[in-house]
Amino acid sequence: MNYHVFPTYEALSTHAADFILAYVRNHPQATICVASGETPLLTFQKIVANTQPGDFDQVTFVALDEWVGIAPDNAGSCRSYIDAPLIKPLGISPDRVSFFDGLAPDLEAECQRVNDFIANKGGLDIIMVGIGLNGHLGLNEPGSSFESYAHVSELEEVTASVGQKYFQSETRLTQGITVGLKHFLEAKTAIVLANGPRKKDIIKRVLEEPISESLPATALKLHSNGHLWVDAAADAS
């Protein structure tokens, strides 16, 4: 696992955006899985600001996860956190983006649909995600199998309560639907971003603890091209 500390959130985001832009210029048909949440918002902004015509004409995006029971157009949905700052400004056509539907009547079928979408693209080139305070990647909560593709997860209390920050009013969050850790491990490049002091404790655990499904982010250590990029405030080395 490649661990790199950037002086600021700004520098971290610039690096992440430059990495994506350089990749798509060399691999115009790339498939990229991106996370919702607050962490990647500045990266998205910088990607959009520095895109040149044609950069994303053939690129496909996969949204990492969704809260079960939350409508796609809810401002707090994972979809909204990716669609508004990244997908819409880049003008990605609907056939080149996959979002989970948190209201899908058959969640297993919804997982299969996303698994098939990713498989049909030949897998993920890049997966770039944030990290939860319990070490989750996407909504792969502690105990999630490293062998799992898309699946429904039961949220830990910390995830449900931290998740309230995305919503204007109190919202019941009990389950998630997420790209699996097997997708993460099979991606050509896997990147976890973390910024700010509240992530320092979990970064310390990822650095110090052994690879285990009880700490999902340690999957990064299994990846031959895995990167943990943090800002100085989240640095625990």
The catalytic residue positions are: 65, 134, 136, 141
Give the sign of the dihedral formed by CA 102, CA 104, CA 105, CA 110. Answer: negative
List phi, psi (to 5°) of 156: -70, 160
Q: Sheet containing 31-34: give its strands across.
A: 2-6, 226-231, 189-194, 126-129, 31-34, 60-63, 97-98
Shortest Cβ 198–ligand GLP spacing (Å): 8
Whether the CB-CB separation of 31 and 95 falls below 8 Å is answered with no
Give the sign of the dihedral formed by CA 177, CA 55, CA 2, CA 42. Answer: negative
The stretch among 50-58, 125-133, 143-151, 224-232 that binds ligand GLP (CB under 6 A) is: 125-133
Instruction: CB nearer to ligand GLP: give 36 or 144.
Output: 36
Shortest Cβ 105–ligand GLP spacing (Å): 22
Distances (CA, A) of 13 to 46, 142, 232: 7, 27, 13
Shortest Cβ 206–ligand GLP spacing (Å): 13
Tokens of residue 168, six digits: 């204007």
DSSP letter (8 states) at residue 87: I
- Interface with ligand GLP (CB under 6 A), residue from 135, 163, 180, 226: 163
Instruction: CB nearer to ligand GLP: give 31 or 43.
Output: 43
**Residue 77 in contact with ligand GLP, rule: CB under 6 A:** no
**Residue 76 in contact with ligand GLP, rule: CB under 6 A:** no
Instruction: CB nearer to ligand GLP: give 158 or 222.
Output: 158
Helix (H) or strand (E) holding 109: helix 107-120
Print the binding letters for residues 85-104 with ligand GLP: x by CB under 6 A, - otherwise. --------------------
Shortest Cβ 193–ligand GLP spacing (Å): 8
DSSP letter (8 states) at residue 193: E
Instruction: CB nearer to ligand GLP: give 24 or 42.
Output: 42
**Residue 36 in contact with ligand GLP, rule: CB under 6 A:** yes
Residue ranges that bind ligand GLP, judged by CB under 6 A: 35-39, 64-65, 78, 129-130, 132, 138-139, 159, 163
